[in-house]
Amino acid sequence: MSKEKVFTDANFKAEVLEAKQPVLVDFWAEWCGPCRMLAPVVERITEANHGKIIVGKMNVDENQETPQKYGIQGIPTLLFFKNGNVVRQIVGYQSQENIQNVIHEVAQS
């Protein structure tokens, strides 16, 4: 079972911005109800897309520099990176199907 990565302010550049594959970053917090609802969806996304996209989570309470840099105001927020740039953003809870559709678009672009 593949587990999503844990992104931090310290590893963000190497793990996300310099990644060879597209990257999905789930910005979340422990106290956020919709974030907890989204967590199993993100786990299934990780499983379903192993080898196609890197999936990871960033706790906004423990890492404040990166969320601030990308203007994260509401959580959960999913940012899709390709070649070091944000190419798509989803704010709030979404179904696995909706997220999967965005992954497909990002992978094709």
**4-58 per-position pLDDT tens digit:** 899 999 999 999 999 999 999 999 999 999 999 999 999 999 999 988 999 999 9
State the Cα–Cα distance between residues 104 and 34, nearest whole angstrom: 23
Residue 1 pLDDT level (bands cut at 50, 70, 90): very low
- Closest C-alpha to 26, from 2, 59, 66, 71: 59
From 23, 25, 35, 103, the catalytic residue: 35
CA 36 to chain centre: 14
Backbone angles phi and psi of 105, in degrees to 5: -60, -45
From 32, 87, 90, 102, the catalytic residue: 32
- Identify whether 35 is a catalytic site residue: yes
- Identify whether 75 is a catalytic site residue: no
Architecture of the domain spanning 5-90: 3-Layer(aba) Sandwich (3.40)
pLDDT in tens, 54-99: 999 999 999 999 999 999 999 999 999 999 999 999 999 999 999 9
